[in-house]
A and B are shown apart, each in its own frame.
Chain A
Amino acid sequence: MALTSSIGVGGQHARKRVEASLTGSGADVAGGGFRILLITGLGVAIFFLGAVLWSVIPDGIGYISDRGSAFFSERSSTRSAEFGIFEGIRGTMWIGIFVVVFSFPTGIAAAIYLEEYAKSNRLTRFIELNIRNLAGVPSVVYGVLGLAIFANRLDGFFPGSADRHLGSTTAAAGATLAILVLPIVIITASEAIRAVPRPLREAGYGVGATKWEVTRHHVLPYAAPGILTGTLLSLARALGEAAPLILVGGVTGRLGPRSGLFELEQLGEQFTALPLQIAELAKQPANSGRWTDATAAAIVALLAVVIIANTVAILLRNHFEKKRG
């Protein structure tokens, strides 16, 4: 009896001591400050994103609804009320096709070789380092490269364009941007392949699969979501580039008479693209006609194209992630 009561008293003391030490600490000032800093960063980003959309979308949507489908099907014009972005859409579309057809297979193949087949020696590391550096080279420099190689040396990179002394063709522009995104495709695909867990590869080799079988059946399916996301983001980047196109010789005025969207001959013709048209529209006088609205409308169109590319990337990634279980 006496024993239990003394424990009770001791317990009372202990409870007070523990309570004091558990509740005594002051406010976490540094933590709170850090939190505010983080929220500020997020706020600044959201503010500017909102500002861009707010300044562009109402005007752009207004202009597009006034013009209707004519805005997308008409060609370039000197009158702001008649301007259409058909030629820009066509050019941007061909650039996208070049990137998908040339950069994706080449870049993914290079990444598979570097990660799965190449010996990890000094040469491989040197090559990897340089590909990383190439991905950081400003796009204008790629424009000079495209001008020198595809436009001048290869006469427009399309059969027949040399006879007409036309170097600045759609094909030259597409090839330039395909080269521009190639290092980015290689890097993102490499990273996706590198992230494949070692036990998965070992499981494949362990049951007697060859290197090719392990790569084809286990590594690539596992890496597919990452590869797809990276490559489609690089596509979005290519579609938004303007600087290299200016150097390769993009035209901002009205092009020749060709009117179809999918005519292969267009590859040997002069080109423009949505980013070039946006730059051109933005240079028009703001106080005459509806040039500002037309600029906003073209921006909305380009944003839509890029958002569609990104959405497809996310949907494909989710699809493949579900498949890999």
Chain B
Amino acid sequence: METQRETMDTVLDEDMTEDVTLIDDEPDTASEPDTPDDLVFELDELNVYYGSFRAVRDVDMQVKSNEITAFIGPSGCGKTTVLRCFNRMNDLIETARVTGNLHYHGVDLYDRRVDPVEVRRRIGMVFQKPNPFPKSIYDNIAYGPRVGGLAKKGSELDEIVETSLRKAALWDEVKDRLKDSALGMSGGQQQRLCIARAIATSPDVVLMDEPCSALDPIATARIEELMQELKDEYSIVIVTHNMQQAARVSDQTAFFSVEVSSESDTRTGILVEFDRTEQIFSNPSDERTENYVTGRFG
């Protein structure tokens, strides 16, 4: 355990030389288009391709800070694909390519100078299935701060671990077994651990890709409750298959759908409607949205 931490620390020291900002030379924000402070993401004509196949077409959207933005829509409509653009997770897929603009606080996330590793330290992610590291509960939380150089001393790390677990409403359940393997926890606990892990690097945004799809209703309710608490500090974007969940938790909702091209027989995801959640569910302006939220389609 101790030796492991030491080797981690040496890795950390190398990393400390890295610049803390996304871009080496700070861009002149004055020259950028005016971005209201409460906007986290601005998408303009965003297209995502896998090889020559266009998976998502022309997405325009503005994600506000300290709100929960939900992506809903049928399978294959590209909501997860768009979500994974927000923290450059699509970079891991070799054939994936993004065109159009995706600005994060006015900075083009797909600028060549942007370091995806720095992006992911600011924009955390929670995945569909709980995926804790096969390490202790403590090390799961401490890993991000360690590689990110957020804590130099063990006591600082202890503090980060405790705060993150408290925010994820997990501290009381695990405080006596921090050294136990995270794999011994229940599915719901594991997912809350993953949320704690995502917020341990003090991100600004937390992306959630169907975080409750592998959980039972009680664990789901706990996570939804947690999201409401977290939105004071973080902006949250959540992909969900569950329309009730979107209606319950989110402030804004984006409805994606699939456009089937009759000539080439390809399926492309499109953003049909993006509005306040009440609007989407009570008075949608697009007929396709209405059909979906009333259960007549999808």
Q: Which residue of the partner chain A has the closest CB to B184?
A: A325
Give the interface residue-count category, chain A.
20 to 34
A203:B147 contact, CB within 8 angstroms = no
Cα–Cα distance between A324 and B92 once the two chains are bound (Å): 24
Q: Does B121 contact A (CB under 8 A)?
A: yes
B135 CB contact (under 8 Å) in A119, A199, A208, A325: A325
A325:B134 contact, CB within 8 angstroms = yes
A218:B133 contact, CB within 8 angstroms = yes
Known: A218-B133, A325-B134, A325-B183. Is A207-B127 also a contact (CB below 8 A)?
no
B125:A206 contact, CB within 8 angstroms = yes
Of A56-64, A209-217, A266-274, A276-284, the one touching chain B? A209-217
Please provide the chain A residues from 187 to 206 with a CB less than 8 Å away from any CB of chain B in the complex.
Answer: 197, 199-206
A201 CB contact (under 8 Å) in B15, B92, B143, B197: B92
Please provide the chain B residues from 121 to 152 with a CB less than 8 Å away from any CB of chain A in the complex.
Answer: 121, 124-125, 127, 129, 131-135, 143-144, 147-148
For A120, the chain B residues whose CB sits under 8 A away are 94
- Could you say which of B121, B147, B183 has the most chain A C-beta atoms within 10 Å of its C-beta? B147
Chain A proximity of B32: nearest CB distance (Å): 24
Q: Does A222 contact B (CB under 8 A)?
A: yes
B133:A206 contact, CB within 8 angstroms = no
B147 CB contact (under 8 Å) in A199, A202, A208, A324: A208
Known: A206-B120, A208-B118, A208-B120. Is A200-B131 also a contact (CB below 8 A)?
yes
Known: A199-B131, A207-B201. Is A213-B120 also a contact (CB below 8 A)?
no
Cα–Cα distance between A202 and B8 once the two chains are bound (Å): 19
Chain A proximity of B110: nearest CB distance (Å): 17
Cα–Cα distance between A218 and B134 once the two chains are bound (Å): 9
Known: A199-B131, A202-B127. Is A325-B120 also a contact (CB below 8 A)?
no
Could you pull out 11 A-B pairs where Cβ atoms are within 8 angstroms?
A: A119-B94, A199-B127, A202-B92, A203-B133, A205-B92, A207-B200, A208-B120, A208-B201, A221-B134, A222-B134, A325-B182
Chain B proximity of A210: nearest CB distance (Å): 5
Cα–Cα distance between A210 and B11 once the two chains are bound (Å): 11
Sample of 14 further A-B pairs with CB below 8 A, known A199-B129, A206-B127: A199-B131, A200-B133, A203-B127, A203-B133, A203-B194, A207-B124, A207-B197, A208-B118, A208-B147, A209-B144, A210-B15, A210-B117, A210-B147, A222-B134
Please provide the chain A residues from 302 to 325 with a CB less than 8 Å away from any CB of chain B in the complex.
Answer: 324-325
For B197, the chain A residues whose CB sits under 8 A away are 203, 207
Cα–Cα distance between A208 and B117 once the two chains are bound (Å): 5
For A202, the chain B residues whose CB sits under 8 A away are 89, 92, 125, 127, 131
Chain B proximity of A211: nearest CB distance (Å): 8
For A216, the chain B residues whose CB sits under 8 A away are 11
Cα–Cα distance between A202 and B92 once the two chains are bound (Å): 9
B198 CB contact (under 8 Å) in A206, A213, A222: A206
B92:A207 contact, CB within 8 angstroms = no
Cα–Cα distance between A205 and B15 once the two chains are bound (Å): 15
Cα–Cα distance between A221 and B121 once the two chains are bound (Å): 23
Chain A proximity of B100: nearest CB distance (Å): 23
Please provide the chain A residues from 94 to 130 with a CB less than 8 Å away from any CB of chain B in the complex.
Answer: 119-120
For B200, the chain A residues whose CB sits under 8 A away are 207
Chain A proximity of B170: nearest CB distance (Å): 16
Q: Does B35 contact A (CB under 8 A)?
A: no
Chain A interface (Cβ < 8 Å from any Cβ of B) = 119-120, 197, 199-210, 213, 216-218, 221-222, 324-325
Q: Does B181 contact A (CB under 8 A)?
A: yes
Q: Which residue of the partner chain B has the closest CB to A202?
A: B127
Chain A proximity of B280: nearest CB distance (Å): 28
Chain B proximity of A189: nearest CB distance (Å): 19
Q: Which residue of the partner chain A has the closest CB to B148?
A: A208
Q: Which residue of the partner chain B has the closest CB to A119?
A: B94
For B92, the chain A residues whose CB sits under 8 A away are 201-202, 205
Interface string of B183-220 (1 = CB under 8 A from A): 10000000000100110110000000000000000000
Please provide the chain B residues from 231 to 262 with a CB less than 8 Å away from any CB of chain A in the complex.
Answer: none
B94:A217 contact, CB within 8 angstroms = no
Chain B proximity of A8: nearest CB distance (Å): 41
For A217, the chain B residues whose CB sits under 8 A away are 8, 143, 147
Q: Does B101 contact A (CB under 8 A)?
A: no
- Could you say which of A119, A202, A208 has the most chain B C-beta atoms within 10 Å of its C-beta? A208
Q: Does B87 contact A (CB under 8 A)?
A: yes
For B118, the chain A residues whose CB sits under 8 A away are 208
For B127, the chain A residues whose CB sits under 8 A away are 199, 202-203, 206
Cα–Cα distance between A324 and B15 once the two chains are bound (Å): 25
For A203, the chain B residues whose CB sits under 8 A away are 127, 131-133, 194, 197
For B131, the chain A residues whose CB sits under 8 A away are 197, 199-200, 202-203
Chain B proximity of A139: nearest CB distance (Å): 37
Q: Which residue of the partner chain B has the closest CB to A197?
A: B131
Cα–Cα distance between A82 and B194 once the two chains are bound (Å): 68
For A119, the chain B residues whose CB sits under 8 A away are 94
Q: Which residue of the partner chain A has the closest CB to B136?
A: A325
Q: Which residue of the partner chain B has the closest CB to A211?
A: B117
B144:A208 contact, CB within 8 angstroms = yes
Chain A proximity of B85: nearest CB distance (Å): 14
Known: A202-B92, A213-B11. Is A207-B134 also a contact (CB below 8 A)?
no
